[in-house]
Amino acid sequence: MKLKLSLLFTLLCVSTAWCSIPPEQAAAMRLKAEMEFFDIESVRQAFNDFSRTPLYDTARYGALMKELEQAAKSGNEEQIVKLKREILLSNPLLDNAKVIVGRYRIGSKARSVMAPSLGTQNNNWSNQSSSARKGFDAEIAELSNLRGHIESRTIYKPKHSTSVTDMLLHWDGERILFTAADENERWGVYEVNRDGSNMHKVIQSEEPDLEFFDGAYMPSGRIIAMSNIGYQGVPCVNGSDQVGNMISYEPETGAMRRMTFDQDANWHPRVMNNGRLMYVRWEYTDLTHYYSRFVMHANPDGTETKALYGSGGWFPNSIFDVQPLPGGNNTFVGIISGHHGVARSGRLILFDPSMGRKETKGMIQEMPFSKREIVPIIKDELVNGVWPQFIKPYPISDKYFLVSAKLTEDSLWGIYLVDVYDNMTLIAEFEDEGLINPIIVNKRPTPPIIPDRIKPDDKEATVFIQDIYQGEGLPGVPVGTVKKLRVFAYEYTYNTSESDHIAQGIQSGWDIKRNLGEVDVEADGSAIFKIPANTPVSFQPLDEEGRAIQWMRSWVTGMPGEVVSCVGCHEDQNSMPIPKRVIASTKAPAKLQTPEGGVRSFTFDLEIQPILDRNCVACHNKDGASPDFTGGVKVVEANDATAGSYGSPSRKAESGRLDLTQSYLNLHPYVNRQGPEADIYVMKPYEYHASTSELVRILKAGHHGVELTDKEWRTIYNWIDFNAPHHGRFVHNKAWFSPYDQYERRIELANKYANGAGVEWKRELEEFAEWQKNNPAPAAVRREVEKPNYKDVSTKKFPFTEAEAREMAERYGDERRTIEIAPGVKMTFVRIPAGTFVMGNNNRGRGNAPASVVKISRPFWMSETEVTNRQYNVFDPSHDSRFTAQFWKDHVGPGYAANRPDQPVTRISWNQAVEFCKAISEKCGVEIALPTEAQWEWACRAGSETDFWFGDINADFSKQENMADQSLRKMAVSGVDPQPVAEDNWVFKYYTYMPREDSVNDGTMTIADVAKYEPNAWGLYDMHGNVAEFTRSTYAPYPYKGEPEEGNDKVVRGGTWDSHPKNSTAYARKSYLAWQPGNNVGFRVV
């Protein structure tokens, strides 16, 4: 045994002089790890595949297969590993093969370190600029004699202690591109010949503050690399890590051009077999930032940039080290990893985007676990505790891969041959060392050169949208609804500067949103228009009032002269566009309709405060009605949101601060918005439509005679659609790596390397402020409004007591009826008697008045609860009510569940509710429909004339309903996996802003399961709370005159878990479009 272990060890270590543990112990550890991944059938499948190769010695290795089978039966582990290795390394692809690797001499900790000790980044959100620049003993080496005693030859070893990383072999098989730091600890892209000659810096730049890393060869001879050229910082750590965006460099001329203008890091550019460029982009403009590193692809000049994999999906958090497979145009291999936790390494996955482009849909298999289902786990530290760990895979065919791997917690980082049959075969590992970035030495066909399509001197690009109604973005929205597109640009944070999610306001977002203007959408949904080139631009489809219907939450960047073409809104990239003539295709590109006062970022003080001054402050001031909307009153409070909490402690920004106005703090609670970290999935259209904000509802109802101008309405809608920001500005502190003013330097570099694309957002705001001075708004107005004198109405048979209500229901016999709509899925109905009542209320808002006497002429059956997810899924198994959004950032999941089986269904439209009724009617042989609003209010009241069936507006509802109560205090959360904060935490008073009744605790923060609370006298649950409910009725002004003619505005009744009791009464009514889903609206049936 001792002799055999020693023989095994010689395969694993070049020299025992390097070994810090006894050879026998090392070999035993290796043996145990190897056996964990031994499967005789997997070896047999690989052998059979080898046997199909001409000249393969099938006889010799067939005999070894038989020996392996015998060894497997006898349990001779040393023999198993020896034979397995000999068979699997007989792979013809390894004949006379040599492998280039990064070789790191680590010492006695080599078995405990993770990937950052091999030159990678220290986390999953930074690029090479945040990696250690010294302290390594590293070299680029060439390994040979792979089937025997490994031989190693040094190609390049730095004279100082930098890492050597991001290695790439040219298609000629002779030149190696890599990243290293120079003697001044500045990152650069270098090249060395495989024989060790001609080592030189490839990217020569006259800019002393710019660094370059993560380079790639282009077929044209250019070099693509990442650089800190944008002077941007990672927002979630207040800029303590630099952002690397992509540049293109001409080695012959030294010409450089910036190619990407992305919020956060780009990583790992690689040329695909079709000549296009693939890379990883991290983005989180209003997305959950732990889960938004997507694979992109583009032409080498940056045109036709599109998502290749991961966009719009929660799993995985990150995809790193993407490498195209030989032969196919889109299949690739990559590493999936988490956000926090294990850095850069993870699970080894094969992808085929033609099968699907998000989550597991296009994941062919996980290696070496092809028989194991890939489960889409939503988890921050996705690969913590997962073994083996992989990094830097390199495909040598579509079935076989070289990869650096650490099999177990105490294994070394070695080079392995991994295959689709689940085999893992050690090629090399050296005790006290780590090996990374394996590349097989061979000459490969150079991918085709895709000619440049940009027009370098053009400062604009063109956007063409064929049909905005196509795709995931606007399902159910009728053609003709979208009238315009709002076009805006993102401007991103600076280094070492306040930029966390609170930098722009409460629940607002990370970035500045610059309003570029609007453009018309044709009647058929097509549009063609100009946008500024080299600018990250986003779109919002607007209805006729200027309100956003959907939110892109990403961007496109048109290259100079490019035509950016989209089929629709969030269309499936695998769908083939149907050629058709559209209106826009017959027109010249339109110029953007620039906002009055010029292009600028949206700021509360300059845009919203003037509206408050003119319309509100006359009453709402420090001496008048609450809340006070007087401008200029600052609220400044330091908090614990310091930068660098996950980054380098030496590069912390100042403590994050709240620096807002009191009027903003008083107004924003009345705005319904998604916040900085909404669901990764495409949202439902209208989910955060301005009409769902209480601010809009109050003003639309004629609040004290306030009449906004059309311009003022559109400005408020713009504010809501931009997530209710306050600042629209950034602080920009001095960067630790540069002597320059960041604002000025960013502009200078963008003008120089992006054809004049520098953004002078400060100047834009100064010019708009000056424009306002020269174009003053009308003076503040205080309007005296005469209170309507509605006639009181009554009927002798109403109200009646709870006992009388019960007696009325019992008079007809059976009070309950149950139908089974699917095996095991039942709906229970209660009998609602006929009667007469007073509908509406003369004292609680114009939308509910005047009250009138309404007769319900015959009894009817009403479902005792709102239709549940379980019940709705009988009709539509694919529907998912998803989650209720969480405040703050650092979300580790989609939010608070709204999709439990017994919660009421939400995120469906009136049209879908009607279709449910039709389907269940046909299936069960009974007539099912939505109730009219008269039926709904009669059933809700159950004889009461008060605000609620159980009392007046001040009643304790804790046992009867789930409405906005003190439970909403728990919405104030903080930390990773945010949890409710204590009342003395600074977060508490700023994030408990939702209007609520603090004197009541109903015990539920968000949507409850149905029937959790007490029913009314007729047995109906949740009439005032939980979720609001669609009715059959078309919305029309009161007095109620029976059912009006059909129209698109439908009445929604009842309150919700997040609506104040005053908005949840028996008579409260709202209007929703027939195709408008709501995240707090469901329905019940009669």
Tens of pLDDT, residue by residue over 908-944, are 999 999 999 999 999 999 999 999 999 999 999 999 9
Q: What is the pLDDT of residues 700-754, one digit of tens each?
A: 988 888 889 999 999 999 999 999 999 999 988 888 899 999 999 999 999 999 9
Residue 630 has pLDDT above 90, yes or no: yes
pLDDT in the model for residue 78: 92
Residue 178 has pLDDT above 50, yes or no: yes
Contact residues for 533 (Cβ-Cβ < 8 A; gap 6+): 458, 459, 460, 461, 558, 559, 560, 561, 562, 755, 757
| 5, amino acid identity | L
Give me the numbers of helices (H) and strands (E) for the chain, helices first please: 17, 47
| 586, amino acid identity | T
Question: For the chain, what percent of residues have pLDDT higher than 90?
Answer: 87
Distances (CA, A) of 721 to 491, 629, 682, 1079: 17, 21, 16, 17
pLDDT in the model for residue 782: 65
Confidence tier at 639 by pLDDT (50, 70, 90): low
pLDDT in the model for residue 380: 97
Peptide bond into 627 cis (omega under 30): yes
Strands (E) located in 420-483: 424-428, 433-440, 460-465
Give the HSE-up count for residue 787: Cα atoms under 13 Å, Cβ half-sphere. 7
Q: What is the per-residue burial (b if ≥16 Cβ within 10 Å, else e) of 93-119?
A: ebeebbbbbbbbebeeebbebbbbbbb
- Taking residues 226-246, report their average pLDDT: 95
Q: CATH number of 93-440: 3.40.50.1860, 3.40.50.2300, 3.40.5.90, 2.120.10.30?
A: 2.120.10.30
Class level of CATH domain 802-961+1004-1083:
alpha beta
pLDDT in the model for residue 841: 95
In the block, tokens 């040094």 appear at 154
CB 533 within 8 A of CB 561: yes
Q: Distance between CA atoms of 909 and 915, rounded to whole angstroms?
A: 10
Q: H or E element: which one contains 93?
A: none
pLDDT in the model for residue 734: 86
Q: Distance between CA atoms of 264 and 275, rounded to whole angstroms?
A: 25
Residue 645 has pLDDT above 80, yes or no: no
Confidence tier at 654 by pLDDT (50, 70, 90): very low
CB 642 within 8 A of CB 655: yes
- Taking residues 632-657, report their average pLDDT: 52
pLDDT in the model for residue 30: 82
Query: Does 695 or 578 have the greater pLDDT score?
Result: 695
Residue 530 has pLDDT above 70, yes or no: yes
- Taking residues 649-658, report their average pLDDT: 44
Listing from the earlier edge strand, what are the strands of the sheet with 860-863? 816-822, 825-832, 860-863
- Taking residues 761-781, report their average pLDDT: 90
* C-alpha closest to that of 86 among 9, 11, 6, 36: 11
Q: Distance between CA atoms of 486 and 594, rounded to whole angstroms?
A: 10
Least confident of 21-35, 73-87, 340-354: 21-35
pLDDT in the model for residue 644: 35
Predicted TM-score (pTM) of this structure: 0.94
pLDDT in the model for residue 657: 62
Q: Distance between CA atoms of 194 and 143, rounded to whole angstroms?
A: 12
Residue 514 has pLDDT above 70, yes or no: yes
Q: How large is the greatest C-alpha to C-alpha distance in the chain, in angstroms?
A: 105
Three-class secondary structure of residue 287 per DSSP: strand
pLDDT in the model for residue 649: 31
Q: Distance between CA atoms of 814 and 797, rounded to whole angstroms?
A: 23
Structure tokens at 82: 């020896």
Confidence tier at 638 by pLDDT (50, 70, 90): low
Enumerate the β-bridge partners of residue 892: none
- Taking residues 218-238, report their average pLDDT: 97
- Taking residues 147-156, report their average pLDDT: 97
* C-alpha closest to that of 584 among 560, 571, 567, 562: 567
pLDDT in the model for residue 864: 98
Confidence tier at 979 by pLDDT (50, 70, 90): very high
Q: What is the pLDDT of residues 454-486, one digit of tens each?
A: 999 999 999 999 999 999 999 999 999 999 999
Terminal-residue alpha carbon distance, the chain: 80
| 315, amino acid identity | F
Q: What is the per-residue burial (b if ≥16 Cβ within 10 Å, else e) of 644-668?
A: bebbeeebbbeebbbbbbbbbbbbb
Q: What is the pLDDT of residues 403-448, one digit of tens each?
A: 999 999 999 999 999 999 999 999 999 999 999 999 999 999 999 9
Measured in degrees and rounded to the nearest 5, phi and psi for residue 714 equal -65, -30
Query: Three-class SS string for 343-364?
Result: CCCEEEEEECHHHCCCCCCCEE
Structure tokens at 57: 């010695």
CB 189 within 8 A of CB 215: yes
Which sequence spans correspond to the domains of the chain? 2-92, 93-440, 460-774, 802-961+1004-1083
Query: Three-class SS string for 853-921?
Result: EEEECCCEEEECCCCEHHHHHHHCCCCCCCEECCCCCCCCCCCEECCCCCCECCCCCHHHHHHHHHHHH
Structure tokens at 938: 């009669």
What CA dihedral angle connects 558, 562, 563 and 569, to 10 degrees?
Answer: -20
What CA dihedral angle connects 63, 69, 71 and 72, to 10 degrees?
Answer: 160
pLDDT in the model for residue 11: 40
Q: Distance between CA atoms of 5 and 1, rounded to whole angstroms?
A: 6
Confidence tier at 9 by pLDDT (50, 70, 90): very low
Measured in degrees and rounded to the nearest 5, phi and psi for residue 424 equal -130, 120
Distance of CA 979 to the CA centre of its chain: 20
Q: What is the pLDDT of residues 816-839, one digit of tens each?
A: 999 999 999 999 999 999 999 999
Rg (CA), the chain: 33
CB 593 within 8 A of CB 755: no
Q: Distance between CA atoms of 279 and 297, rounded to whole angstroms?
A: 6
CB 752 within 8 A of CB 705: no
Within 399-445, residue ranges assigned H as helices are: none
CB 402 within 8 A of CB 392: no
- Please state, rounded to an integer, the average pLDDT across all residues of the chain: 93
